[in-house]
């Protein structure tokens, strides 16, 4: 079957190239329908307040770090987007006096310039900077993990990838962007062998930590959410954790408050994962093949899919 051309970026694959019948089914889903899409290996959790939502996200850090020992270090891979959980993590560590000497943390992505060099920590959009300022610098010095236990994809990406074999990743958190990515696992370009069909799920899952080009939708979204709409501020390439590392995480936990994707997009990936319909044009849908995935929703943020003029 000939796949449609993207309505937003004709040189790329994305969710607008999916079968129209699937897209129509997605639009019909109510919040109650979404809540009922859990299955073995995929759990949908709803939160009625933002306080409960972000506290639950922060507690995943605490639960992971509590499992770290000298003999078996452990940690969590965390996102920038959302970020509201990060100050809560620091507060919980301090209040609980949680010693993090055996704990680890992975940053999941970082911007790079056109030469493939990670942006410096003083770049206004640096993810590593956000992690440090919002969380790790707020933890009392006596409780902090060693600097060597902070793993950011800003240097040797092969070495970064190997840490997932050396250290137990209890959970990989993420948000969902408008292009339906986790980290910067964006849909691929429509070129070469993938001119007429996107790569198969098995092919896409072979991607490890890497520097990648960003779908135009991702650039626009990050300008909107993080740069006041200043598109020129947003790099068009990034380093990202890949599916290879993601499948080494014991659990993947995606947090959706309705800020980084829209009502249609949140419905789309939930249905595709629940019904086991992986497609590389919707990278998040590939998590249908991971054995332990949880989608966390702020219920009022789910919204509705309907024509509404503004």
DSSP 132-195: HHHTGGGS-GGGPPPGGGEE-SSS-HHHHHHHHHHSEEEEEEE---TT--STT-PPPBS-GGGS
Burial of 224 (0-12, 13-18, 19+ CB in 10 A): middle
pLDDT at 22 (0 to 100): 95
φ, ψ at 151 (rounded to 5°): -115, 110
* Alpha carbon distance 244, 209 (integer Å): 8
- pLDDT mean over 235-254: 96
Note the Cα 24 to chain centre separation in Å. Answer: 25
* Alpha carbon distance 122, 156 (integer Å): 20
Model confidence over 258-288: pLDDT tens digits? 888 999 999 999 999 999 999 999 999 999 9
pTM: 0.95
pLDDT at 117 (0 to 100): 85
- List the end-to-end C-alpha distance of the chain, in Å, as a whole number: 37
Confidence of residue 88 (pLDDT cuts 50, 70, 90): very high
Confidence of residue 224 (pLDDT cuts 50, 70, 90): confident
- pLDDT mean over 65-89: 96
Model confidence over 157-212: pLDDT tens digits? 999 999 999 999 999 999 999 999 999 999 999 999 999 999 999 999 999 999 99
Confidence of residue 310 (pLDDT cuts 50, 70, 90): low
Q: In b/e form, how buried is each residue of 9-40, taking b as 16+ CB within 10 angstroms? A: beebbbbbbbeeebeeebeebebeebeebeee
Confidence of residue 235 (pLDDT cuts 50, 70, 90): confident
């Amino acid at each position: 079957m000939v796949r449609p051309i993207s309505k937003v970026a004709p040189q790329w694959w994305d969710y607008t190239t999916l079968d129209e019948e699937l897209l129509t089914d997605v639009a019909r889903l109510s919040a109650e329908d979404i809540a009922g899409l859990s299955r073995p290996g995929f759990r949908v959790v709803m939160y009625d307040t933002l306080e409960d939502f972000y506290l639950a996200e922060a507690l995943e850090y605490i639960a992971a770090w509590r499992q770290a020992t000298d003999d078996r270090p452990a940690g969590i891979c965390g996102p920038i987007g959302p970020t509201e959980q990060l100050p809560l993590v620091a507060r919980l560590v301090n209040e609980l006096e949680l010693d993090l000497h055996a704990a680890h943390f992975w940053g999941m992505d970082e911007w790079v310039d056109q030469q493939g060099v990670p942006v410096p920590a003083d770049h206004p959009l640096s993810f590593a900077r956000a992690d440090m300022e919002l969380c790790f610098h707020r933890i009392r010095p006596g409780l902090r993990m060693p600097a060597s236990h902070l793993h950011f994809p800003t240097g040797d990406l092969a070495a970064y990838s190997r840490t997932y074999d050396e250290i137990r990743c209890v959970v990989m958190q993420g948000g969902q962007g408008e292009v339906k990515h986790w980290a910067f696992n964006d849909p691929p370009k429509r070129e070469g062998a993938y001119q007429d069909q996107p790569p198969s799920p098995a092919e896409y899952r072979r991607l490890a930590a890497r520097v990648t080009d960003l779908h135009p939708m991702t650039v626009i979204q990050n300008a909107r959410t993080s740069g006041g709409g200043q598109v020129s501020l947003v790099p068009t390439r990034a380093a990202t954790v890949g599916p290879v590392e993601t499948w080494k995480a014991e659990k993947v936990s995606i947090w959706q408050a309705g800020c980084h994707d829209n009502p249609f997009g949140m419905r789309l990936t939930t249905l595709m994962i629940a019904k086991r319909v992986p497609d590389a044009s919707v990278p998040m849908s590939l998590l249908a093949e991971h054995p332990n995935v949880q989608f966390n929703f702020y219920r009022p943020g789910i919204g509705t899919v309907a024509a509404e003029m503004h």
